[in-house]
Amino acid sequence: MIRIAAVGDIHMGPDTRGVLRPAFDTLHECADLLLLAGDLTRHGTVEEARVVADEIRDLAVPVVAVLGNHDHHDDRQDEVTAVLRDAGARVLEGESTVVRAGDARVGVAGTKGFGGGFVGASAGEFGEPVMKEFVRVSRHCADGLRTALERLDEDGCDVRIALTHYSPVPETLAGEPLEIYPFLGSYLLAEAIDTAGADLAVHGHAHAGSEHGMTTGGVRVRNVAQPVIGRAFHVYHLPVQHPAGTRSGAEAVTG
């Protein structure tokens, strides 16, 4: 059984320094790795990134992260990424990484993702250049996620996880105003996950959303935005493989 701790939207700044560290120091007791689902800072400043870095530095479990829209606000996302990586985090954008959990190899593919909406109410690559660019960014993120998941499959990972900031499904947005759904996620992310395959999808971004969802292909989706889970992190248990050889979905447990 693989134990995955996850949280997003911690929105840290100088006044919250040290708030999460006591909980993170217990991770080795209940989890094999920590996933950070974006919006780690408030405004994407390097100063705020250093606060996050101090929370995760030298933890006893691997840390894998993606950035969120807040982490891009100051247009210093490369510097934010560098600060987090210097603290030991594996920060992904259209990339994948593999961590060990006992004898199992856990593959994580990550992208920030972007908006655009969902089937029946989504933006299309048509009209003004800025609208076409909006959808192209979403498609580019989704393509990177799909390629990264496929690479993990080729590598023979025992478990594959899709880590994003934006949501791949509308179900985990329930509670948010319908009018802003197109700015909270994109069906293109779900298409990428279902095409390549995954055992679990984790995202943040939707503070007023819901925790549980599922892609049309049957991949379980979890919204781990901190306002949703209401704690420093949530832990999910993933069986590596059923005896019959088929993978199982994620079973949520509180931690």
Read off the pLDDT of residues 110-136 as tens digits, 9 standing for 90 and up.
999 999 999 988 988 889 999 999 999
Question: Which residue matches tokens 């933890």?
Answer: 59
The mean pLDDT value for 67-78 works out to 98
Q: Is the pLDDT of residue 243 over 70?
A: no
Entry pTM: 0.94
Beta 104-111 vs 95-101: how paired, if at all?
Answer: antiparallel
User: For residue 212, which amino acid is it?
Assistant: H
pLDDT over 90 percentage in the chain: 90
Per-residue pLDDT at 121? 85
Over the stretch 153-178, which tens digit does the pLDDT of each residue have?
A: 999 999 999 999 999 999 999 999 99
Per-residue pLDDT at 242? 40
Query: What does pLDDT average to over the chain?
Result: 94
- H or E stretch including 139? helix 129-154
Beta 251-253 vs 234-238: how paired, if at all?
Answer: antiparallel
Q: Which residue has the higher pLDDT, 72 or 248?
A: 72
Is the CA virtual torsion 187, 206, 24, 45 positive or negative? positive
Per-residue pLDDT at 241? 67
The sheet carrying 212-214 orders its strands as: 95-101, 104-111, 159-164, 200-203, 220-223, 212-214
Over the stretch 201-225, which tens digit does the pLDDT of each residue have?
A: 999 999 999 999 999 999 999 999 9
The mean pLDDT value for 87-101 works out to 97
Secondary structure of residue 83 in the 3-state scheme: helix
